[in-house]
Structure 1
Amino acid sequence: MQKKFNFLSYLVLLVFLCSNARAQMTLKNPILPGFYPDPAICRVGADYYMVTSTFVYFPGIPVFHSKDLKNWKQIGSAIDRTSQMDFMGEQISRGLFAPAINYNKGTFYITCTDIDNGGNFIITAQSPSGPWSDPIYIKEARGIDPSLFFDGDKAFILYNSDPPENKSLYSGHRTVRMYELNLSNLKVVGSEKILVNGGVDISKKPVWIEAPHIYKRNGFYYLMAAEGGTSVNHSEVILRSNDVWGPYIPYEKNPILTQRHLDPKRKNPISSVGHADLVDGPDGNTYAVFLGVRPYEGDFYNTGRETFIAPVKWIDNWPVINPDHEEVQYEYQVSWNEEKHKDQLPLSGNFDFKFPFKDSLNTQFLFLRTHNPSWYSFKENKNALTVKLLPETILGKGNPAFIGRRQQHLVSSASTEMSFSTKKSNEKSGMVIFQNENHFYYLCKSYENGKNVIQLFKGSPTSEKMDLLKQMELPGAQKSVYLKISSEKDLYSFWFGLKENEWKLLADQVDGKYLSTVVAKGFVGSLYGIYATSEGQKTENKAIYKWFGYSGNDSTYE
């Protein structure tokens, strides 16, 4: 009887210990790989919502949802109607800069900058999935990177702005400024005040103090901002005050996050980190989301600025990001349960998918500058996307017949099945790996000298025309063709086939550095896309796409 009692006691104890054991999960960086820069985050109950920049891509400002900070699902886009805005006539890296998301008393707020049209604005929604309101522009808040701070019944808007009296002491001299905000009409109240001039130490000529956020904790107001510019010198700094209006005193051990002091030749570097936002995790501890990049050599990267996460420790009442490591890690262990989303295309980790064009596009697909449903259709051909050839080209600043999806891995590929026939050399349809109006590669089917051909073009930084790199004749009057573009860090290869998975190489290991941010400049990353054009001439011709496939496999995700 005693042995039975001991055995039962052991079982009870074991069940108790197991039921109270802390769950373990691995956060893998980047949590949003590919061109998802300038993250901002808010928590509402057990739910997390995050937004990132989109520049001139449409729809703009994706809104993501998660319950575990690891698995994210895009639940909508804040700018999804042309009545809100469009970006016609603007270069790729203009448009929407650095959104921030907040929640207060039943309402969600997104602040952002439409850099060439109206400046800083606010949109609101009752649900983070939308619909979001038309923008209300805050004309008095001149600058970029606005965010909101709520303190009791009061609200404030802060932002990056001009130096005092608009007189720069050095290149990159900026300020952080703030207004009180009337939430009933979203108008500023009272006078503007400069909270930070230049940066944490103006004697050292700090540049680009931007992306400010204010948090309240333990009686202090904390002002966090990026400093150093969104490249290899990027960093995050922190200041605090006893009053929301300041004065703000900088932390003596700033910056609280940077990788600029590390060896650029280190293995699998994560660099250019900054532009952070703080949030409390499911375990009650603080975490930071921020942008960073994964260069494959030096400062060369094609995947754009991505979203990363790291733990935060409060040391002497100061937040320090990634305090236990010199390098931002690809993995962090956390103590809560994983909660995956159902029925969505994957967003992180290594993955592959084949998206059939049946009746709609997934939220991960993007247009250039605006949305015009007149040039594509899911109804004209069953289980296919029919695309009209437009005179507009991707070299211009309009809305060409382009639909793209981000390259999210250094080692990746995209493919499609296309049916297209033409007797004109100006009519082309195919796939593109696109960074901006001048930096892209275009794999297409066309017609030259009485023959059907597969062609590879390269964008030109000094010309309004593409450069033909390679051409190969297609047999007979073949209408259907398979196309594939693959990347291996700085090398891209281009393939075609007359049957699925029977690939013929058109061009091998083409220079991919041409698509890198270092070469192409700007703030975006590369997109794989489908693209059809008649190059300035009107036509009734169309191309039919059956599906879009993507595969990504990076060693850091294994």
Structure 2
Amino acid sequence: MPAARPTGGVYRNPVLPGFHPDPSVCRVGEDYYLVCSSFEYVPGVPVFHSRDLVNWRQIGNALDRPDQLELPPDTPASQGIYAPTIRHHDGRFWMITTNVSLGRHLVVTAVDPAGPWSDPVYLDLPHVDPSLAWDDDGNCWLTTSGVKTYRIDPEVGLVLEGPISTWSGTGGQYPESPHLYRIDGWWYLVVSEGGTHTGHAVSVARSRSPLGPFEPGPANPILTHRGTGRPVQATGHADLVQAVDGSWWMVLLGIRARGQWPPYHVLGRETFLVPVRWVDGWPVVDPVEEATAAPAGSAPAGAAPPGSGAYRDDFDDVRLAYRWISPRSRPDAAWSLTERPGWLTLHATGSTLDRAGVTMVAARQQHHDCRAGVRLDPGDGVAGLTLRVDEAHHYDVEVSGGTVRVVGRVGPFRQVFAERPAPAGPVVLTVATRTRDLYPPVVTSAAELAAPGEPYGVRPAGSDMVVFELATDDGPVVLAELDGRYLSTEVAAGFTGRVIGLYVTRSSAAFDWFDYRPT
């Protein structure tokens, strides 16, 4: 059977913080490659590389051309690209995913996972969460949520056999994320079930054939945090990988909610890593720990703790960094790094953040407590910095006509929370998020009751506070402090997390730099 996990090393979870859901991983030699869902954002399907399964660096996006990724202009939030799988076979990388906006699976290939990736080959089949596996005879097996299995020719998108119903878990709702693995003469089928929230769970079965019959594992589910008080919840959508030293590991998604009951998660579903050991031919998985140092023996040999996650973009390159994403499209005419060298120039394509079609370049919020700032020359435009979940859930600080204002949109409500004159010339705007004090002092007097702050009897039970600041000659000025729970999945719904976006809604504007750092 597979070797036990190694000793030595520590690591921290999540290994990919922020909106990085539905991870899939493969190893080629000493290198590991991982992809995640991207939903309505372009470029699609970020591709990461690691040498230790802990420290990941984005090396590209698998769907980085309009002819690979067609998203209709009216694509709703949290549609688009779902649940990719990455595999390596016969000298090529294969990535399969579903464009739910078109109702089609697509396959792209590459010799170099950094790209370029090929034009798509389509499979018009139902369900989502497609995965590929090859047997010793060269047959390619496609599994989808359901759980359904097909024998296909992935080169041309031809179905040769199927659908065949195999094993769909232990009875939980939404059996999904099926992955087939050939290990020591057995075919293992790992599925998630229970829905991608607090009921999420991972189960396993095995068979001598990829078509079954499958024998369920004796200790299913092999991983779930449902019904527990663990800080990481919604654990599921798992993929297995064998490390260079023979140990086995699982990548999976989870959420880290904050606040009083009910808690709220704002970063989206994140990517976690856990060790796997084998007992009597079955995988055994330990619970997922949060971002704290792990005991010796819990990490790939030689792994180091990840960096702080801080970065700064001075827009000095001729292309945008891989981390930058845009909702639905990013027309070439809407942005430029050469029009004003050293600045990112944006040209308005839409007049409001409340509807699709706006010009925005965004990066994922990856820490609960963080600060992000920009230096902005608005010119004669309307431009600013937004903390966004979707068109109906965002907080913005923007400059126009010599005025800086903070605007909030939550569901059907839109409100201006603050306004003040903007300094002349380029301005520096900042958005910061900080965890709230969940247990403020008890009100004991009429004077305290009349004091500014939370309404009487209302505790700040949300996830965090969102603080907007303007830099002035006298130092930073706080413009507004807003409750962060309204920019959470529990309020907005959907499958994504927050992003921090640079935008323009009238004329043009230029951004000198963007600085992000955890606090």
* Superposition TM-score, scaled by structure 1 size: 0.82
The answer on whether the counterparts of 1:32 and 1:308 sit within 8 Å (CA) in structure 2 is yes
Relative to structure 1, the CA distance from residue 228 to residue 48 in structure 2 (aligned partners, 3 Å threshold; closer, same or farther) is: same
Instruction: Note the C-alpha offset of 1:24.
Output: 3.4
Relative to structure 1, the CA distance from residue 184 to residue 415 in structure 2 (aligned partners, 3 Å threshold; closer, same or farther) is: closer
**Residue 438 of structure 2: aligned partner:** none
RMSD: 1.9
* 2:425 counterpart of 1:474: no
Instruction: Note the C-alpha offset of 1:72.
Output: 1.0
The answer on whether the counterparts of 1:446 and 1:453 sit within 8 Å (CA) in structure 2 is yes
Distance (whole Å) between structure 1 residues aligned to residue 395 and residue 220 of structure 2: 42
SS in structure 2 at match of 1:112: strand
Relative to structure 1, the CA distance from residue 516 to residue 335 in structure 2 (aligned partners, 3 Å threshold; closer, same or farther) is: closer
- AA partner of residue 282 (structure 1): V
* Superposition TM-score, scaled by structure 2 size: 0.88
**Residue 494 of structure 1: aligned partner:** 468
Distance (whole Å) between structure 2 residues aligned to residue 462 and residue 225 of structure 1: 38
Residue 531 of structure 1 is aligned with which of 503, 510, 513? Answer: 503
Higher RCO (C-alpha under 8 Å, 6+ residues apart): 2
The answer on whether the counterparts of 1:67 and 1:339 sit within 8 Å (CA) in structure 2 is no
**Residue 401 of structure 1: aligned partner:** 359
State which structure, 1 or 2, has the greater radius of gyration over its C-alpha atoms: 1
Distance (whole Å) between structure 1 residues aligned to residue 511 and residue 216 of structure 2: 55
Distance (whole Å) between structure 2 residues aligned to residue 95 and residue 550 of structure 1: 27
* 2:480 counterpart of 1:507: yes
**Residue 26 of structure 2: aligned partner:** 42
The answer on whether the counterparts of 1:42 and 1:102 sit within 8 Å (CA) in structure 2 is yes
Distance (whole Å) between structure 2 residues aligned to residue 372 and residue 70 of structure 1: 35
Residue segments in structure 1 that go unaligned for 5+ positions in a row: 1-21, 161-174, 341-347, 535-540, 554-558
Aligned-pair identity (%): 34
Distance (whole Å) between structure 1 residues aligned to residue 272 and residue 27 of structure 2: 17
**Residue 301 of structure 1: aligned partner:** 265
Relative to structure 1, the CA distance from residue 549 to residue 184 in structure 2 (aligned partners, 3 Å threshold; closer, same or farther) is: closer
Instruction: Note the C-alpha offset of 1:321.
Output: 1.5
Residue 243 of structure 2 is aligned with which of 262, 265, 281? Answer: 281
User: Per-residue displacement from partner, 1:342-401 (whole Å, max 9, x unpaired)?
Assistant: xxxxxx543422210123321111111122121222222231112223334322222x21
**Residue 40 of structure 2: aligned partner:** 56
The answer on whether the counterparts of 1:82 and 1:371 sit within 8 Å (CA) in structure 2 is no
SS in structure 2 at match of 1:26: coil
The answer on whether the counterparts of 2:33 and 2:50 sit within 8 Å (CA) in structure 1 is yes
Q: Counterparts of 1:310-349 in structure 2 under 5 Å?
A: 310-322=274-286, 325=287, 330-332=292-294, 333-334=298-299, 336-338=301-303, 349=307
* 2:401 counterpart of 1:437: no
Instruction: Note the C-alpha offset of 1:326.
Output: 7.6
Distance (whole Å) between structure 1 residues aligned to residue 288 and residue 57 of structure 2: 30
User: Per-residue displacement from partner, 1:74-115 (whole Å, max 9, x unpaired)?
Assistant: 111110001112322111200000000011111111110100
Instruction: Note the C-alpha offset of 1:330.
Output: 3.9
The answer on whether the counterparts of 1:119 and 1:143 sit within 8 Å (CA) in structure 2 is no
Residue segments in structure 2 that go unaligned for 5+ positions in a row: 1-5, 436-463
User: Per-residue displacement from partner, 1:464-491 (whole Å, max 9, x unpaired)?
Assistant: xx4212111235xx12111000001311
The answer on whether the counterparts of 2:408 and 2:417 sit within 8 Å (CA) in structure 1 is yes
SS in structure 1 at match of 2:276: strand
- AA partner of residue 266 (structure 2): N
Moved over 6 A (4+): none
- AA partner of residue 403 (structure 2): V
The answer on whether the counterparts of 1:237 and 1:255 sit within 8 Å (CA) in structure 2 is yes
* 2:255 counterpart of 1:271: no
**Residue 332 of structure 2: aligned partner:** 373
The answer on whether the counterparts of 1:23 and 1:337 sit within 8 Å (CA) in structure 2 is no
Residue 416 of structure 1 is aligned with which of 357, 374, 381? Answer: 374
Distance (whole Å) between structure 1 residues aligned to residue 307 and residue 235 of structure 2: 20
Q: Paired residues, what number?
A: 478
**Residue 516 of structure 1: aligned partner:** 488
The answer on whether the counterparts of 1:99 and 1:112 sit within 8 Å (CA) in structure 2 is yes
Distance (whole Å) between structure 1 residues aligned to residue 411 and residue 468 of structure 2: 21
